[in-house]
Amino acid sequence: MRADIRSHWLITLAWALVLSVGLGTVSHASKAPELRNGKHASRGAAKTKINPYASLSKRTRFPYPIELKPQVEFWKKVYSRYTTRQTIIHDSKNMDIIYEIVDFDRVFKGKKVSSRTERKYVKKRRKRVQAILERLYKKRGKATTSEEKAIAAKFSKIPGYKKFRNAKRRVRSQLGQADRFRRGLVRSGRYMKTMRRIFRSHGLPEELTALPHVESSFNYKAYSSVGAAGIWQFMRSTGRSFMKIGYTVDERRDPIVATDAAARLLKSNYKVLKSWPLAITAYNHGTNGMKRAKRKFGTDIARIIKHHRSRSFGFASKNFYAEFLAASEVSRNHKRYFGNVNFEPEFRYDEVVVRHYTPAKKLARAAGMSIKTMKRYNPALRKSVWRGNRLVPMGYKLRVPKGTGARAKANIYNIPSQFARQKSAGHHIVQRGDALSTIARMYRVSVPAIKEANGLTRNMIRAGQRLIIPGRAKTKASSRKVETAFKNLPAGDKYRVRRGDSLYKIAKRAGMTTRELAQRNGISVHNPIYPGQNLSLKDNVKKKPLQQVASISPVVPVPQPVQAKEKPATKEEAVVKELEVIEAKPVPLVAREQEPRILADGLAVTIDGRALRVKASDYAIKKFSGNIATIIVAEEETIGHFVEWAKVSTKRIKSVNRRGAIKRLRVGTSIKIPLTKARTENFERKRLEYHMSLLEDFFDVYKVDGEKEITVKRGKSMWELCVIENQTPIWLVMLYNPNVNLGRIAAGDIINLPVVVKK
């Protein structure tokens, strides 16, 4: 009887489990996004309490050396106890020594103050601690005041009195992160399930998905002052090996694509280093750096942290593994630290492959979603796409709300192919006789568009000025029109100038530069031309080495030159004739917040009210001869960039340079690039777009909040001085020190350092 009852209850329980699983599946499916009145319903979806960390073990499976316990406990406090309204003043080596917790709300009595004011106060408190440590050292450890006794007690387990002098150099401040960490937990619900699946597919421990808590608090918009982007904080140089990073698409900002890239990088690190603590530290410090550390100290991470000496192996690298262990512990046991967390719903989507270059607005309309929704689903598309300066590229996998893929695909595939290639911002060198109206007609763009792209408010232009022509993609119709216009002109024929022509326009359509066309006709590029004039397209003049310039003025806000009104055009003035161009030096105006611009050569610009002079020649192709271009290496450029832009191999670049010239690139040195004439324009465009993206990304997040003078100390490199200690990119420091060769600074030199803060 008891057996029958037991059997009955087992059967009942089994059916209950089946029903609960079935109901659970239906419930999950019911949460699939829907379209309501053409809008995505998930925008207002309630947050779910599904815990994406539920299946993870409550304890880490990664090595946890007892020597690292003080560091791990410190970072657990940073992530779970202290918020961004608090700063911890502590010892950077002995992490269990905490001198003070600065609470900004208490200090400033709840008043909102600037970040500069907060920084000054924290610096003052650090100096106070350093002064006490100095007194203790001078008094050989004898504490007399209550403050001295309190600090001396923290060092009771360390013998001697010289410890106080050493500790003075290690006083550091750390902003709390608890509120950011909690928001990161909420956001992680959107991607965590997919991220763990990606790591499983690579055969990696799922616990590694805690790293974005350390890097970015799961903020896909995160961007560091040194150029790391996305939830995994990939630098461009590292990310280029795994993702597409360009002026149109930056996959570092896509959490899913970047997660796959991070998994491949971590897998590669582990394959080389054979140790997870070292592989994880290499994510921050670099694989080669950890290989050197391993050769000296083996795989004991605690021993490496204690004894390895390297300029680049600083506080961040030494603490990265401890931060990972702390973040993993807090995220796995989030309820203990934060209580209930309402995680965001899982990100679900369909994909449609874009078959040809298409404006973002057209795709959004075809997919039945707003631009705002399209942005949210496609974070890899850069701002240039949303502004309309670039097209969504052919082959791009467009994400659309789940359940709308079939309809979106049908509509998108019905969009007619209009553009033969990607939009690109062109340039025009102003010649004597040019006016904004004639230039606008030449490129089929509006005068206001040219003015907006170049920071002009009136119509003044000057001879020799390089203007940006707003991106206009060549349509298939316009391509055919140009081909038709010149298909009956064989090489060596002549061309009769027509109304509306200019040297630049004719040269461009004939597939040559303005300078080449002028040389072939024995005239200057500034000479006027007139309707009926015959121009030779035959190469009758011995060529000189072609001088090509890629002008870039990477600053924000932009200046404006002296302006003058343009003559109103009449029918008679529509013919090509010489017009007077005002030869005036540009002057900076009051700074104003704007988007970064690439401006004409030699313009004065302002940042934070200070006028700066930018050398366009720093970004120029110095000479071009015999299919070899000579350039000056600019900040943030690598051999990998030149290989990509020129479409040549590293071996080919090495072959045209002296031995060892490219082994270690230095800013300001010259390098030769094998470059065919046909690829010159593409090289310059790619190089320009790279520097534009650096500027735009930086000034999207940061601003300059004044400047300070610093004296270079012995043994300090520019990387340590600018990036590690002050979180300021070197290219920005170069703008503030135009007369200083930062590659040759010495101890005692004084440099101006812009103070960078988040907007």
Pairing mode, strands 35-36 and 39-40? antiparallel
CA distances from 607 to 456, 557, 703 (A): 17, 6, 9
**With contact defined as beta carbons under 8 Å apart, do 704 and 733 qualify?**
no
CATH 1.10.530.10 domain locations along the chain = 178-338
φ, ψ of residue 180 to 5 degrees: the values are: -65, -40
CATH 3.10.350.10 domain locations along the chain = 627-758
Q: Give the pLDDT score at 273.
A: 96
Radius of gyration over every alpha carbon of the chain, rounded to an integer in angstroms: 31
- Could you report the average pLDDT of every consecutive run of 10 residues in the chain (759 residues)? 44 41 33 32 44 70 94 98 97 96 95 90 96 95 93 93 95 96 96 96 96 95 89 91 90 96 96 96 94 95 94 92 97 94 95 94 95 96 88 94 95 88 68 77 73 72 73 49 40 69 72 73 67 72 33 30 38 32 32 40 45 52 82 85 89 85 77 83 79 78 81 81 81 80 80 83
Dihedral sign for Cα atoms in the order 64, 70, 71, 75: positive
With a CB cutoff of 8 Å and minimum separation 6, the contacts of 125 are: 89, 100, 102, 173
Partner residues linked to 35 by β-bridges = 40
Please state whether the predicted TM-score (pTM) of the whole model is above 0.85.
no
Q: Is 35 helix (H, G, I), strand (E, B) or coil?
A: strand
The structural architecture, per CATH, of the domain 627-758 is Roll (3.10)
Tokens of 246: 């360009």
Amino acid identity, position 490 = P
CA angle, residues 335, 338, 341, in degrees to nearest 5: 70
φ, ψ of residue 358 to 5 degrees: the values are: -145, 140
The CATH class of the 178-338 domain is: mainly alpha
CA distances from 331 to 183, 326, 584 (A): 12, 9, 61
Residue among 687, 692, 731, 732 nearest 387 (CA): 692
H or E element that contains 297: helix 287-297
